[in-house]
Structures are given as C-alpha cells and as structure tokens.
Structure 1
C-alpha cells in the first residue's frame, strides 16, 4: 500500500478517497497547501488504487480498516488522527474509528454516504457487461485519446480546476491503469454487507463529527439529503454543513471551505 504524507503539526489528517477514484493523491491535491501549515496529512491508496498493488484478499470492511491501520503505522504516521472521508470512504473511516477509538479525535465526511444509506440503497456491483467489454477490448483506452472524452470524464470533479496539468496527466494514466479492477469491483459488491457490519456496531461517537454535504448546484436528491441530515446521529458532537455551488467531489469545488472545516475539527 502507498501512503503520501506532508505538512506539520501534532495532529494527522487521514484522507480517504471514494470508490473508483483512481488516484487519491491527485484527487486531494487542492487541500494540501491549505492543510500543510497547520497539520500533518496522509493520503492512503487502498489496494487497487493509485500507486498501491492489487490484492487477492476480499474487500470486507474489517480487512480494509486493518490494512489502513497497518499502512499508517508502517509509513511512520502517528495519532491522534482526524479522519476525512469522501463518498464510500465513509465506511472504512467509521470502521477504523470503531476499531481504534483511542487514535481518533474527529471525523469529517466529504459528501460521504452514511452506513444507513449504503445498507438501504442498491448498487451495480458488476459495473455492467458493456462497460466491462469496453475495458477488456481496449475501447475505453482508445476513447481517451479524445480531449472531449477526457474533459467529460473530469466534469464531475470541476474539471480538476485546482490541479496542475502534470497531475492531470498522472490522474488520467492512473485511471487507465486501474480501470475497474477486481478490488474496486469487490468493494462495491460488498458495500451493503460492509455497511451492515458498521451499523451492527453503532454507538454514537463522543468526538466531533462534521458532515459536509454538496448542494449539487441546487438540485440535490431528496433521499440523499435526508440520509445526510440523519448522518449526524453518529456522534454526540455532530453538525452538518451544506456546501453551496458544489457537486459530489466537494473538495474539488470548494477546497477552502473543506479545509477550514477539517481544521475546525482539529482545533476542537
């Protein structure tokens, strides 16, 4: 497993990427210079992502949380941790806090789904036969010779507006190398069962929890909005903040606000 770390301070912010985000290092780039003067930060690549290998181990949530803990220790990171998770990264983040409570001082969710959402919702765990065919035959790689296709693939991430061109190329290369590999597939396949494991161990945390929710440019889904509001039940010190004029990758739209909310949890 690969860990990228930087910054300075007594607290380490651990950044967990969402499902299918091929290069977490690039994805969280807009936050680094805003966090680095105040805290240490660490971005880990789960197996199947970024610079990490793939693994034969099933992607059950206890295995993932244990791998994260081991990777942080082996790379020299030290608690206390503030955990910041995007999207499906919420499950491993909550499980980490359940398994290693003495190491966690706060949690920030970046438009991340609650365990209740992932348990009750349904996912296309196989990714679709046509999509698999396009990947295995190389058609996807051929399509990505088109700048229009590349731009379209980045649209949900604000066009990677705050990411330099050389890192955009790294992101593209990573996406093509990691295209829906077995580890990514198994993560999605196990999302519901992983959510149940976390839910079965639910006890409200006695630590700060900030739930940052995108307003989806004013057209948010009602079910998602309800689950996001209810996500605050996971802590006795919780709050929700709706980030205006953003989409799912809120840290690519408003890195300033996201960093401020992370640092606010650090200071509490």
Structure 2
C-alpha cells in the first residue's frame, strides 16, 4: 500500500513537471514566433490610423467601382489571394484586416457587427476610398457585409456573397455554442502560452498563429451571439440592392437545405431582376479551392450591374 502511494505521488509529480515544461516551452516558442512576425518588413504595407489603433489595408486596380472584400471570422487579408488580382483587372479592390487580425492593431472593443461596420466605414472615409462600392463577403463576413449595406445603402451598387452566414442560421451556433465558448476561452486566455498554436492547422500566412491573431479570432467568435442579435434587431431586407449569392454544400444535409432556403428567400424578396442565387457542390472556402467558379459568377453579376444606368455619384 505504501509502495502504491509512493508510485502515485511520483506519477503526479512527473505529470505536473511535464505540464509546467510544456507551458514553458510553448510560451518561449510563441514569444519567438510573435517577435519574428512583428519584426517582418512592413514598409510596403498601408495602414489607416483610427482613434487608438491602426488598420492594415490594401488597394489595387482601377475602374469605376470599388470592390470591398470582407473575410470570414478570424481570417486575414491573404484569404483573397486567389481572386484579388483578377478582380483588379475590372475595378479597384479594397482588402483589409479587422482590428487584431493580421497586421492590424487590436483594441479592447467587443468585436460585434456594429463595431466592425463602424470601423470599416471609418477606414474608407479616412483613406478616401472612392465608390460606388460592390461588397463581397465570405462566410460570417456576409453578415458584416449585409449590415454595412443596411447602414450605408446609398453608397452600395451591389452585394456579392460567398456561402454566407445569416442571423436565421441559429441551428449552427446553438449546437456549437459550448464549443465556441470553450474554444474562445482557450484562445483568448491562453494565446500567450503557445498551446493553441499546437492544435491549429497550418496555413501559408505567418500571422495566423500569432498570439494577437489567435486572441482576436476568439473575440470575433465570442461576439457571434451579440452580432446575430444586432442583425435581427435591424431587420435587414435590402430589397432594392442587386445581390448575387453563392451557396456551397458537400454533404447535402438538412442544414444545407435550410441554408439554401434562407438564401432563396433573400433573393425572392429582391426587387432587382439581376439578383440571383446559385449552389455548388463545393467546400465552404470555394474562393480558395475553386476561385474560377467565384470569378465566373462575379463577372456575370458585375456585367449586369455595369450595363445598368448608374444611379451612384459618389466621389
């Protein structure tokens, strides 16, 4: 019995030391990784100075319209790499990173739809980004995009959504509510430790695994419920704006069919004949896996907008 107690104590001590060693190693490794990214060359990057932080953005191309690209939760500017150059051949392409993501500085503000919309509008004003605008949103970026168009409809020439989220899709966020809360707690409170970095998938962009990006990815996810409520309270219809929606599905589940019905209802309420909803049996990140499909659909949408008599006189 005494021997068993001794073995148990040794096991407990060994486990404790291993956990401590893992935290020490992870913290040192994360600190070095953060410094490497922070010290990378920023001389060719553009920043917009807001009240207490800077937002990283990019603007390429020329044309009558500016395409404003809004990424999904926790995603930085590189998500658009496979389509931005092609879009720049027909218009101005504005991409940016929300506060705390990529090279943008972070704030302590709650990262809700209202806050993100106000931040984007301030950057556009600060940098004199010329309109009219065609908004392009992917995933939860579609929620932010629709809210922006609701707040500033006079500036918008059209909305292009890539497998967007919607405030009626509560069946996803309710079933994953505990996951989002646990995931958010670990990332927002332990980003310094390096532990979240061990479990995150590898991506080409180095910013993805910095403590700042991990922390703010979590903050965006933790604000999902508040963002959804803001959308519901706003009762957004957007019936007078041209809209093109791409839905994706690889499994054909009941939820996929519900998603499609929601998108069809949005298009069904539209008073613009060029509004359209299409579905593809492709992954959620179709703009990355199949950029040619997204570009084909956008060219079709853009061609119809461009051929209409313009009602926008924004400078």
RMSD: 2.4
Structure 1, unmatched stretches of 5+, are 155-167
Q: CA deviation at 1:231?
A: 2.1
Is the counterpart of residue 257 in structure 1 residue 290 in structure 2?
A: no
2:113 is matched with 61
Q: CA deviation at 1:259?
A: 1.7
The number of residues matched between the two structures is: 239
Q: TM-score, normalised by structure 1?
A: 0.80
1:137 corresponds to which of 181, 193, 218: 193
Is the counterpart of residue 206 in structure 1 residue 206 in structure 2?
A: no
Question: Is contact 2:187–2:218 with CA below 8 Å preserved after alignment?
Answer: no
1:243 is matched with 280
1:174 corresponds to which of 193, 200, 207: 207
Between structure 1 and structure 2, the one with the greater Rg is: 2
Structure 2, unmatched stretches of 5+, are 1-54, 306-315
- Ranked by relative contact order (alpha carbons within 8 Å, sequence separation 6 or more), the top structure is 1
Q: CA deviation at 1:6?
A: 0.7
Query: How far apart, CA to CA, are the structure 2 residues paired with 1:27 and 1:102?
Result: 28
Query: How far apart, CA to CA, are the structure 1 residues paired with 2:135 and 2:105?
Result: 23
Query: How far apart, CA to CA, are the structure 1 residues paired with 2:285 and 2:155?
Result: 27
Q: CA deviation at 1:180?
A: 2.4
Question: Is contact 1:95–1:198 with CA below 8 Å preserved after alignment?
Answer: yes
Q: Residue by residue, what CA displacement relative to the aligned partner does 1:138-169 show, whole Å, maximum 9, x if unpaired?
A: 2454x48xxxx8xx545xxxxxxxxxxxxx2x
1:164 is matched with none
Query: How far apart, CA to CA, are the structure 2 residues paired with 1:259 and 1:233?
Result: 24
Secondary structure of residue in 2 paired with 1:207: coil
Q: TM-score, normalised by structure 2?
A: 0.69
Question: Is contact 1:34–1:256 with CA below 8 Å preserved after alignment?
Answer: no
2:183 corresponds to which of 127, 131, 134: 127
